[in-house]
A and B are shown apart, each in its own frame.
Chain A
Amino acid sequence: MNLCPNCGVDLGDEARSCPLCGVRVGPDADKPGPAIHPLPHMEPLFDPDGKGNFTPREKLFITREVITVCMAIAAGSAAAINYLVSGHLTWSLYPAASIAFVWLCVGFPLYVPKRPGLALTVAAAGLIGYLGALDLIDGPKYTWFVSLGLPLALCIEVFGIGTVLAVVKARRKGLNIVSMILFGVTAICLSIEYLTDRFVRGEVLLQWSSIVAFALVPVGIFLVYIHLRIATTTSLRKFFHV
């Protein structure tokens, strides 16, 4: 039997080399040089796991570069088209401002992955800047930003961040978290209608937001009551373990 020492296959008596690995066999086994060129070491053509060989740090780098470059291309393309057609920049300023705001919310956090507070602050400031920029693009002076846009953004941010902080800082987490979110949503709805009424009509008449408040506040209070009753007798960590 003419066995290949590498592959372990029977090659037949006539074979002088293994067609799989090229190694010489039989009487020519001692002679130097292969009869058939050995197959080169085959590198896989694609990653069989589909995961790539990137470290988490490299993946983060690639993600933020791709996001930044894509957004820059989108904003630049809009500006170029606008300039080529009109000779100056008009409508392209709106997508540019929007893309910049989205980048602040999505792209910037990837540059400061370990500082969520900074990312949140920049996104909050970005919202105010975005609304201000939209108003400035509309005309040479601020028209609606100071009386409507800025207070709206501040209210949403203050109540939103306040709710998040209350949720994070809560010593016992349970149904009280749901009630905090309900109270936060109610406050945001009331402030939105208050500010828009004052800006549009000059008088405040709370309508839809009061319906929201009537629906959510009693539910929130009930949940707080249930939470306080359960919290004194039951472990919420146990009850809500995921």
Chain B
Amino acid sequence: MDADRLNRKYANAARADEFGPWYVLDNAAMIFPVMSDRTATYMFRLAATLDEPVHLPSLSAALARIAPRFPYYMVDLHRGFFWNYLQPLGKVPVPVPDHRYPVQDFDVRKRGQFPFRVRARGSRIALEMHHVLSDGGGALIFFKTLLAQYFRNRGVESEAAPDVFDPDSTPHPEEYEDAYNRFFRSELPVPEPRPHAFRIVSPLLPAYQFRVTTGILPVDKVKEVSKSFGVTVTELFCAAIMDALQEIRAAYPAWMRRRSGPMATLEVPINMRKVYPTRTMRNFSLYFMPSVDLRLGRYDFGELAELVHHRIKSESPEREIPRQIARNVGLSRRQYVRLLPLGIKEIFMRMFYNSMGKNFLSGGVSNLGLLTLPEPLNSRVTRMECLMPPSRVTCGNLGAVTWGDRIYANFGSLMKSREVERLAFKRLASLGIPVRLECNMEDPV
């Protein structure tokens, strides 16, 4: 079988038998059921604040109306002998109340439960989605479609938009596909291992508590500062977090510095749908990993920004980043891996994730950029936010969204220490950017 046909065979994630349809997990999703628990849930969140309190019956009706358009999300997770799989649930999701601590207390393995939830409180609607289903790219389309339908139910019609699906349309077959397998190239070398990353040492918050620190920044000022350093907004945020990490590391005693990893490495997701032609609604993100070696002395901020800029530029999405697909897909296609029972496979997945993923990261920056909704919905939403999945080992996890003339930058943390947020926002403020802060816990930064 030639490579293209083999790739398409593996990419076909939608299967069916006499019991009905079921779905194979995409290549990135395989690891998430193993690594997630009720606190480190691997859920990310998109939230929109409306100009009026949420009308719950309209939201429930909107969710029920769009559910058939997204059959690949209306599933629950099942455990197979060799792999996990997704099975349609045959029911419609209903909104649940939002909570002070988002993306917490969720077990993706629980039967009969959607791996996402739509939450509402006051004038805010939020979508919390587990990475086993999709990444930000797929979730954003689902969320925008939900908002458009909600407003339609409220009597506000909107213009058609490519990233807002018509609830009556039929899902394209490509929406189900595992694009990692489709665009796998076996001839590529796998990425080289990286040195361990520096991570702060801090006790964790009590179980199910998750601190969200939101910085609200004027977009024009942030762009002006970014431009002055010759970097993008994402790179500016990366540099601010790295600056915070180097400050923290410098304050550690020598023995702690010796024991900690030497690199400040951040994970910056890229939406690979912009690189490869696919309509997949499953996971299809890979990562830039800009890093600086903190052992080499203190960097000034301009130097950090420049380093991050060049590191990101050097990792071309067309050439360097597909090597991550070659590593992940290549491993999962090996016969001895496929034939290992799931229980044994999970042990190796943990080891793989710890050695190849978790240990290399100090944090992450996910900047969704400027979000818009079709007119006239833009004016009905006052604020849009995103939140990266919680992690027990990394602290500098920043999710940023530009909505209107503001950037909403959310730091999420399971750690008691607020030093990364504090120092990163302090640095941004010192550059002349007015930063307004909010926090979901007492005694904000």
| A187-242 contacts to B (CB < 8 Å) | 234-235, 237-242
CA distance A27 to B18 in the complex (A): 81
| B159 touches A (CB below 8 Å) | no
| B426 touches A (CB below 8 Å) | no
The residues of A that contact B18 with a CB separation of less than 8 Å are 235
| B252 touches A (CB below 8 Å) | no
CA distance A238 to B81 in the complex (A): 9
Q: Is the pair B17, A238 in contact by a Cβ cutoff of 8 Å?
A: yes
Q: Is the pair B82, A240 in contact by a Cβ cutoff of 8 Å?
A: yes
CA distance A238 to B16 in the complex (A): 9
| B250-267 contacts to A (CB < 8 Å) | none
| B24 touches A (CB below 8 Å) | yes
CA distance A236 to B82 in the complex (A): 12
| B80 touches A (CB below 8 Å) | yes
| B208 touches A (CB below 8 Å) | no
The residues of B that contact A239 with a CB separation of less than 8 Å are 80-81
> Would you give 13 A-B contacts (Cβ < 8 Å), ordered by A?
A235-B19, A235-B22, A238-B78, A238-B80, A240-B81, A241-B80, A241-B82, A241-B83, A241-B85, A242-B82, A242-B83, A242-B338, A242-B339
CA distance A239 to B15 in the complex (A): 12
In angstroms, how far is the closest chain B Cβ from the Cβ of A72?
33
CA distance A138 to B81 in the complex (A): 51
Partner of B19 from A234, A240, A241 at Cβ < 8 Å? A234
Given known A242-B338, A242-B339, contact A237–B17 (CB-CB < 8 A):
yes
Instruction: Give a binary string over A156-177; 1 marks a CB under 8 Å from any B CB, 0 the rest.
Output: 0000000000000000000000
Instruction: Give a binary string over B322-338; 1 marks a CB under 8 Å from any A CB, 0 the rest.
Output: 00000000000000001
| B200-214 contacts to A (CB < 8 Å) | none
Given known A234-B19, A235-B18, contact A241–B24 (CB-CB < 8 A):
yes
Closest to A239 in B: B80
| B134 touches A (CB below 8 Å) | no
User: Which of A234, A238, A239, A242 has the most chain B CB atoms closer than 10 A to its own CB?
Assistant: A238
User: For this complex, into which size category does the number of interface residues on chain B fall?
Assistant: 10 to 19
| B18-40 contacts to A (CB < 8 Å) | 18-19, 22, 24
| B87 touches A (CB below 8 Å) | yes
Q: Which residues of A contact B (CB under 8 A)?
A: 234-235, 237-242
In angstroms, how far is the closest chain A Cβ from the Cβ of B84?
10
CA distance A239 to B24 in the complex (A): 11
CA distance A237 to B83 in the complex (A): 12
The residues of B that contact A240 with a CB separation of less than 8 Å are 80-82
Q: Is the pair B338, A238 in contact by a Cβ cutoff of 8 Å?
A: no
Closest to B21 in A: A238
Closest to B87 in A: A238
Q: Is the pair A238, B19 in contact by a Cβ cutoff of 8 Å?
A: yes
The residues of B that contact A234 with a CB separation of less than 8 Å are 19
CA distance A234 to B79 in the complex (A): 12
The residues of B that contact A237 with a CB separation of less than 8 Å are 15, 17
CA distance A164 to B85 in the complex (A): 29
The residues of A that contact B82 with a CB separation of less than 8 Å are 240-242
CA distance A240 to B80 in the complex (A): 6
The residues of A that contact B17 with a CB separation of less than 8 Å are 235, 237-238
Q: Is the pair B339, A238 in contact by a Cβ cutoff of 8 Å?
A: no
The residues of A that contact B15 with a CB separation of less than 8 Å are 237-238, 241
In angstroms, how far is the closest chain A Cβ from the Cβ of B417?
44
CA distance A125 to B139 in the complex (A): 62
The residues of A that contact B78 with a CB separation of less than 8 Å are 238
The residues of B that contact A242 with a CB separation of less than 8 Å are 82-83, 338-339
CA distance A242 to B15 in the complex (A): 13
CA distance A237 to B87 in the complex (A): 13
In angstroms, how far is the closest chain A Cβ from the Cβ of B340?
10
| B61-88 contacts to A (CB < 8 Å) | 78, 80-83, 85, 87
Closest to B24 in A: A241
CA distance A235 to B82 in the complex (A): 14
CA distance A240 to B17 in the complex (A): 13
The residues of A that contact B22 with a CB separation of less than 8 Å are 235, 238
The residues of A that contact B81 with a CB separation of less than 8 Å are 239-240
In angstroms, how far is the closest chain A Cβ from the Cβ of B188?
14
Closest to A49 in B: B187
The residues of A that contact B80 with a CB separation of less than 8 Å are 238-241
Closest to B23 in A: A238
Closest to B86 in A: A238
In angstroms, how far is the closest chain B Cβ from the Cβ of A171?
11
In angstroms, how far is the closest chain A Cβ from the Cβ of B333?
11
